[in-house]
Amino acid sequence: MPVGKKFLPAFIYLLIFILASCSDEEVNPDEDEVFDGVYSVAKIEITTENATEVDSKESYVNCSISLDARNSDWDYSGSGRIRGRGNSTWLWYPKKPYRIKLDQSAEILGLAADKDWVLLADYRDPTHLMNTFVFTVGQGLGLPYTNHSRYVELTLNGDYMGLYTLTEQVEQGKNRVAIDEDEGLLLSLDVDDGPGLAPEEEDNFWSEEYGMPVRVKDPDIIDEAHLFAIKAEFALLEEAVKSADYNQVDALLDIPSFIDFLLIQELVYNVELAAPRSMYLHKDKGQKWVMGPLWDFDAGYDFDWSTMYTGHNFFSNYKELVLGTSPSIHAGGYYVPEFFTDLFKNRQFVSEYKARWLEIRDQILSTYWAVTLDYAGGFSDAMSRDFQKWPIDKDHAHEIQRMGDWLSLRISYLDGVISNYPDGN
């Protein structure tokens, strides 16, 4: 039996579980809402000039693009360029992710107008929900500039390529990270793009205090002096964090965003925090640093790294930790950069961290996971077609059920871990 035929019963099982856990005040979308609008799957057709193959992350290929959405107001037709994107996802897997640059800025599937868009292949993720769940949590917690998910089925040069997540490119822009074009900063803490693995780039550096790999995403670096100034500005933040003085840090960093950012990393067991990879923070002119946007979570959820080239194995152990049982001394977790843990030496920070967890923990399943399941209900048929194109050794519906069970167990486990963090000084 095709996997799509088996999905609906599992989805109903999950939806019943969520409904049972919701308060009377929870509002759940009706069937029309679930299978229309943001939860439905659009068809995107891309045809490159002269049917040129898209085989590079560096070179764009001219193309035409059309979108056929269930909501006809979201239909689109235009021209642009396409290239590959990603690091491991581009190198290791047969289903490739892409970046699109439209010739003219446009609203896409109800999202604010821009030229730059991303198609995530989600090949490693057997649920197609790992990034979407985190985006949903980030939006619910109010982390600024959190991405959105729109699911599409891609046809490229006449070949069906499967189910993709269409989302915003993380970059400076009025409808992206809305910081000043010249004096705002968007940084990525990322070993792949840092000076160790990308020494040929002129827009990266090792951070002054913690030795983290930093890539300047925006603005475009003009000269060495500009890069030096950015490095010095980031060093001021590092020095404050290293002091573990709450007031010093609060003057430079939006601490609530830092707490939410870390809670999300731990919730989904995103070990990429240790490298680090895909960790963004930004700063507008004259403002504090803010963590985010959130990005790239298909290596979380207890991913089995021993099968990283071929496997889709997640959700085995809900008790492993990123920050550990005592983050300030790296006990019981990964050895993540101390930039992310030194503030746990501070009593006020630890108190606020614990309070924030208690504030949000009951919403994770009843609200954010429930919304995530609405996306799953909308793409069930498309997931079946994707499986025929890219068969893996997993049943997608069963993996979604396992994801929900894993999150439930993990939330209960983190209750004890976080409540027992040392109080700090």
d(CA 174, CA 157): 32
Q: What are the CA-CA distances from residue 234 to residues 10, 184, 238, 253 (Å)?
A: 47, 12, 6, 11
Q: Given a cut of 90, is residue 28 above it in pLDDT?
A: no
pLDDT at 32: 53
Prediction pTM value: 0.91
- Between 33-37, 114-118, 181-185, 319-323, the lowest mean confidence (pLDDT) is in 33-37
Checking if the pLDDT of 381 tops 50, the result is: yes
Instruction: Determine the pLDDT at residue 34.
Output: 44
The per-residue pLDDT for 241 is 98
Structural contact between residues 299 and 273, judged by C-beta atoms closer than 8 angstroms: no
Q: Please provide the DSSP assignment of 51-106 as one string.
A: G-----SS--EEEEEEEE-SSGGG-EEEEEEEEE--SHHHHH-SSPPEEEEEEEEE
pLDDT digits (tens, 9 = 90+) for 309-348: 988 999 999 999 999 999 999 999 999 999 999 999 999 9
The residue ranking higher by pLDDT, 400 or 220, is 400
In 226-367, which ranges are E strands? Answer: 279-283, 289-291
Instruction: Evaluate if residue 23 carries a pLDDT over 80.
Output: no
Report the pLDDT value the prediction gives residue 36, as an integer from 0 to 100: 61
Q: Is the pLDDT of residue 15 over 80?
A: no
**Residue 222 pLDDT > 80:** no
More reliable by pLDDT, 77 or 35: 77
How many CB atoms within 10 Å of residue 292?
Answer: 24
Looking from the CA of 168 toward its CB, the CA atoms found within 13 Å total 25
pLDDT tens digit sequence for 384-408: 999 999 999 999 999 999 999 999 9
For the chain, give the mean pLDDT. Answer: 91
For residue 5, pLDDT beyond 60: no
Q: Where are the domains of the chain?
A: 38-168, 185-420
Per-residue model confidence (pLDDT) at position 199: 94
Say yes or no to pLDDT of 223 above 50.
yes
Q: How confident is the model at residue 91 (pLDDT cuts 50, 70, 90)?
A: confident
The tokens for 232 are 């010095």
In the 8-state DSSP scheme, what is residue 344?
Answer: G
For the segment 260-268, the average pLDDT, to the nearest whole number, is 98
Take residue 173 and report the two structure tokens written for it: 């822009």
pLDDT value at position 87? 76
